[in-house]
Chain A
Amino acid sequence: MDQLLTNFIRALRNADVRISTAETLDAFSTVQLVGYRDRQLLKDSLGLVLPKTPDEKAAFDTCFDQFFSFRERSPLPTSDEAPTADSAQPGNADAGGSGESQGQRTGQGEGANNSTQVAEGTSGAELLSGEMSAAQSALGQLLTRANTIEINMAISAAGQQVNVHEIELFTQKGVYTRRILEAMGHAELQQEIFTLTASDAIPDRHLAQDLGRRRDWLRERVRDHVEHQFLLHADVTGRRLRESLLRDLRLSTLEQRHHRLLQDLVQRMARKLVAAYSRRRKIFRRGQLHVPRTLRRNMKYDDAIFDLQWKSVKTDKPKVFAICDVSGSVANYARFMLMFLYSLEEVLPKVRSFAFSSDLGEVSDLFARNDIDDAIALALRQYGNGSTDYGQALADFRKLCLDDIDRRTTVIVLGDARNNYGDARTDVLKEIYDRARRVIWLNPEPRPMWNTGDSEMRHYSPYCHQVDECGTLTQLERVVSRLLQSQR
């Protein structure tokens, strides 16, 4: 039983539910308390102990249902004479068990296979029914004997043979199912059914029908087995690989279907930054003795100084203004930068964002009201059409909030600076540059491409404290991290 729980936890980890060793121990004591008998109770209980966020709970629910599928397995179809005692085997005996203790079973499984072959000569001759011929192939005999345990062992053994535990992607399920069936001698069975169907003798045709039903049943069984192995072993490696690739991929080339994964990645990177910088802030909180306040507070103690009051340094809450080009070419980068900035809410509480392609508008409200994903979509829809005009955008920005920019403000401009040969209005940028603490220009294009064609990078860069390339997530992370450092 312990093995069963360990396997389940392993499957959960594969499904991206983070479970620590301590929680595993908790799960064991929980199971000891509630037992395996009441399925709903078990699910509710483990659902309290193992997953710790709503997302994880959803993953847990599906995982639990798949893993402990007490799905009524159709019992092995039996002909009248076939022994029925074994086929009534409760489904749960192998529901979790088929994955467990594989090694131990291999030996047995092979043993069983051997004995099957040995038995072929003797018991194979025994007729099952007056009207039905006996199966000739080994698999056919195994199936007609209808011993569920024996069949399960055969499946496990075959699985071992084809290394089903190396399954990594869900697309491989079919392949492995076929390989296991082949290893079990599916081809011979198929051949036998084929010849029997063609045969003139009625008992032969009966047998063919019977075997056909059993074969279908076996296929289902094997599919379940593979499914189970997939739950236990798959996906982790594939996911890691994808993630490490995504980090260094140019953001514009990403496909829609990667967005979800990427979002997780951004969130995780952001959390790391938050952890790093919120600790830092504490040091800045430490101060010197605040004499007046200490005296005032300690008056009630007859001026004996008990309760010391410290001067605390007010942490400078950094203000960040993000101006994002959301026209087609750069929209994807804007998406991820905004996602990054808003994921950092704890260390960067005051982010105001502006979006433009030709006209510029503030989109902070969208982010305050919606979750990040929707907000970005809305911003893109609202401002994303029209040809890029940096001059107009800068002028708009100036009109909108030049007065709000002060010594503590960092202005980030994200764009490729391709102005369609329009007026660059560098004078506005200079004005911003003079007032703000920092002006950072992030350009998603690779450096060699800057200043070619209609790019105005050459004219803008003198009025920026920092000019950076931010084509990939790794670069973006570096920039944001530096932004947090410079805040001190």
Chain B
Amino acid sequence: MVDIPSIAASVSSLKQHLETHRYICSDQIATAVYLAYHLRKPVLIEGPPGVGKTELAKTTAEMFELPLIRLQCYEGLDEAKALYEWKYGKQLLYTQVLKQTLDEVLQGAKGFAESVKRLHEFGDIFFSEEFLEARPLLKALREERGCVLLIDEVDKSDHEFESLLLEILSDYQVSIPEIGTVKARHTPPLVFLTSNNTREISDALKRRCLHLYIPFPDIALEQRIVNARVPEIAPQLREQLVRFIHDLRELDLKKVPSISETIDWARTLLLLHADRLDSELVRNTMNVILKFQEDIESVQPELRSLTDKAVRS
């Protein structure tokens, strides 16, 4: 078991620990985790796809050795899928099984009113915790040691779902009509929300969160990231490919290559036993970094000059 408070004692220690888990980050990102831990506030992470938004939550969970509970958002996600649901099947089965007992209970009861009264004495057994199917959000609140809750791509969900999140994010509790309010066990979860900005997140949600924007890293940082993820790659090739990717990001593309593409590319080149970039190699592996035919075609004519530039400088 790791000692969480000592890891989270300072920003630099957090950064160091994240690095030992192969997540290389800027000070700002480490500060976000630091504040999230100490202020117990959720973090809303925005940025272009593939810069490591989801990865940050995963690594944090790994670092603190806490369970990671992940909720993937999509259009139409509702409370039954995100929060809780009653186990209808179980309820039904139990009523069937208990029919006998029920008959005994109701024996001698005269009239409808008295039967109902007797039933009432047994309380709302069927709507108690045993019949509650916990979905990710509720599960996260019930984790004994706390956990990392990742609400992925929150921008894909509907407005209604966002409002549903508000209670959890600000008070770490949910209200279930039949049972009452469920509060987080003594350590509330660390919450990360990610968004690709396909739509504007409401102000109410933003207000409750720390807002972290992760941009593309600079060349030095990206080199370190590649080094951490693909340590086998030759330093010379690493420098060249990172420079190439950075030049590519300057171009007008439909989808610019992100860090995950850089890493994939590094792995590909490693597999091909390359030790330096040349335009033929780049041409053949283009589809690893560019995901649209249009983009590939528009880069094609400039390939040679781009490669030369990356190799030479």
Q: Which residues of A pack against B, CB within 8 Å?
A: 18, 20, 22-23, 26, 29-30, 33-34, 40-41, 44-45, 47-49, 51-54, 57, 271, 278, 282, 300-302, 304, 306-307, 346, 369
A53 surroundings in chain B (CB, below 8 A): 211
B208 surroundings in chain A (CB, below 8 A): 22
In the complex, what distance in Å separates the CA atom of A11 from the CA atom of B38?
Answer: 27
Q: Is B125 an interface residue (CB 8 A)?
A: no
Complex A-B: 27 CB contacts under 8 Å: A22-B207, A22-B208, A26-B39, A29-B39, A30-B35, A30-B39, A33-B35, A33-B39, A41-B11, A41-B27, A41-B31, A44-B11, A44-B27, A47-B28, A48-B28, A48-B43, A48-B210, A48-B211, A49-B35, A49-B210, A54-B46, A278-B159, A301-B89, A302-B92, A302-B96, A304-B92, A306-B91
B203 to chain A, nearest CB (A): 8
Interface centre among A23, A49, A302 (most CB of B within 10 A): A49
Residue of A nearest to B29 (CB): A44
| Contact of A346 with B207 at beta-carbon distance under 8 Å, contacts A45-B35, A307-B88 already known | no
In the complex, what distance in Å separates the CA atom of A33 from the CA atom of B39?
Answer: 8
Residue of B nearest to A49 (CB): B210
Residue of A nearest to B10 (CB): A41
A48 surroundings in chain B (CB, below 8 A): 28, 31-32, 35, 43, 210-212
Q: Is B254 an interface residue (CB 8 A)?
A: yes
Q: Let me know if A306 and B199 touch, CB within 8 A.
A: no
Extra contacts besides A40-B27, A48-B210 (10): CB < 8 Å: A22-B207, A23-B207, A30-B39, A41-B11, A44-B28, A44-B31, A47-B28, A48-B211, A49-B35, A53-B211
B27 surroundings in chain A (CB, below 8 A): 40-41, 44
Q: Let me know if A346 and B41 touch, CB within 8 A.
A: no
B160 surroundings in chain A (CB, below 8 A): 282
From B11, B35, B199, B207, contact of A20 by CB (8 A)? B207
A442 to chain B, nearest CB (A): 27
Q: Let me know if A33 and B38 touch, CB within 8 A.
A: yes
In the complex, what distance in Å separates the CA atom of A57 from the CA atom of B46?
Answer: 12
In the complex, what distance in Å separates the CA atom of A45 from the CA atom of B207?
Answer: 15
Residue of A nearest to B205 (CB): A52
A41 surroundings in chain B (CB, below 8 A): 11, 27, 31
B293 to chain A, nearest CB (A): 15
Residue of B nearest to A346 (CB): B199
Q: Nearest 10 A-B pairs (CB), nearest first?
A: A44-B31, A306-B88, A48-B210, A52-B206, A52-B211, A44-B28, A301-B92, A48-B32, A33-B38, A20-B207
| Contact of A54 with B213 at beta-carbon distance under 8 Å, contacts A45-B31, A346-B199, A369-B254 already known | yes
B214 to chain A, nearest CB (A): 11
A21 to chain B, nearest CB (A): 10
A369 surroundings in chain B (CB, below 8 A): 254
In the complex, what distance in Å separates the CA atom of A29 from the CA atom of B208?
Answer: 14
Grouping DSSP codes into helix (H, G, I), strand (E, B) and loop, the A interface class, with mixed when no group exceeds half, is: helix
Chain B interface bracket (under 10, 10 to 19, 20 to 34, 35 or more): 20 to 34
B254 surroundings in chain A (CB, below 8 A): 369
From A26, A49, A57, contact of B213 by CB (8 A)? A57
Cβ < 8 Å to A, chain B residues 62-99: 88-89, 91-92, 96
Q: Which residues of B pack against A, CB within 8 Å?
A: 11, 27-28, 31-32, 34-35, 38-39, 41, 43-44, 46, 88-89, 91-92, 96, 159-160, 199-200, 203, 206-208, 210-213, 254
In the complex, what distance in Å separates the CA atom of A304 from the CA atom of B91?
Answer: 11
B213 surroundings in chain A (CB, below 8 A): 54, 57
A347 to chain B, nearest CB (A): 11
In the complex, what distance in Å separates the CA atom of A446 from the CA atom of B69?
Answer: 60
Residue of B nearest to A279 (CB): B159
In the complex, what distance in Å separates the CA atom of A211 from the CA atom of B208?
Answer: 55
B38 to chain A, nearest CB (A): 5
Q: Let me know if B32 and A300 touch, CB within 8 A.
A: no
B41 surroundings in chain A (CB, below 8 A): 26
B157 to chain A, nearest CB (A): 13
In the complex, what distance in Å separates the CA atom of A346 from the CA atom of B207?
Answer: 22
B211 surroundings in chain A (CB, below 8 A): 48-49, 51-53
A57 surroundings in chain B (CB, below 8 A): 213
In the complex, what distance in Å separates the CA atom of A300 from the CA atom of B96?
Answer: 14
A26 to chain B, nearest CB (A): 7
B159 to chain A, nearest CB (A): 6
In the complex, what distance in Å separates the CA atom of A372 from the CA atom of B307?
Answer: 32
A18 surroundings in chain B (CB, below 8 A): 203
In the complex, what distance in Å separates the CA atom of A369 from the CA atom of B294?
Answer: 12
In the complex, what distance in Å separates the CA atom of A302 from the CA atom of B95?
Answer: 12
A151 to chain B, nearest CB (A): 37
A304 surroundings in chain B (CB, below 8 A): 92
B212 surroundings in chain A (CB, below 8 A): 48
B35 surroundings in chain A (CB, below 8 A): 30, 33-34, 45, 48-49
Residue of A nearest to B46 (CB): A54
B92 surroundings in chain A (CB, below 8 A): 301-302, 304, 306
In the complex, what distance in Å separates the CA atom of A369 from the CA atom of B211?
Answer: 27
B96 surroundings in chain A (CB, below 8 A): 302
From B31, B88, B206, contact of A301 by CB (8 A)? B88
B46 surroundings in chain A (CB, below 8 A): 54
B91 surroundings in chain A (CB, below 8 A): 306
Residue of B nearest to A298 (CB): B88
A33 surroundings in chain B (CB, below 8 A): 35, 38-39
In the complex, what distance in Å separates the CA atom of A307 from the CA atom of B85?
Answer: 11
Residue of A nearest to B159 (CB): A278
Residue of B nearest to A47 (CB): B28
A45 surroundings in chain B (CB, below 8 A): 31, 34-35
In the complex, what distance in Å separates the CA atom of A45 from the CA atom of B39?
Answer: 11
In the complex, what distance in Å separates the CA atom of A132 from the CA atom of B207?
Answer: 62
Interface centre among A44, A47, A49, A304 (most CB of B within 10 A): A44
B207 surroundings in chain A (CB, below 8 A): 20, 22-23, 52
A43 to chain B, nearest CB (A): 9
B38 surroundings in chain A (CB, below 8 A): 33
In the complex, what distance in Å separates the CA atom of A307 from the CA atom of B133?
Answer: 15
In the complex, what distance in Å separates the CA atom of A278 from the CA atom of B160?
Answer: 11
A301 surroundings in chain B (CB, below 8 A): 88-89, 92
In the complex, what distance in Å separates the CA atom of A369 from the CA atom of B28?
Answer: 31
In the complex, what distance in Å separates the CA atom of A306 from the CA atom of B210?
Answer: 40
A306 surroundings in chain B (CB, below 8 A): 88, 91-92
B31 surroundings in chain A (CB, below 8 A): 41, 44-45, 48
In the complex, what distance in Å separates the CA atom of A40 from the CA atom of B89?
Answer: 56
In the complex, what distance in Å separates the CA atom of A480 from the CA atom of B171?
Answer: 39
A461 to chain B, nearest CB (A): 38
B172 to chain A, nearest CB (A): 16
In the complex, what distance in Å separates the CA atom of A306 from the CA atom of B133?
Answer: 15
Q: Let me know if B39 and A300 touch, CB within 8 A.
A: no
B44 surroundings in chain A (CB, below 8 A): 52
Interface centre among A23, A40, A49, A52 (most CB of B within 10 A): A52
A302 surroundings in chain B (CB, below 8 A): 92, 96
Residue of A nearest to B41 (CB): A26
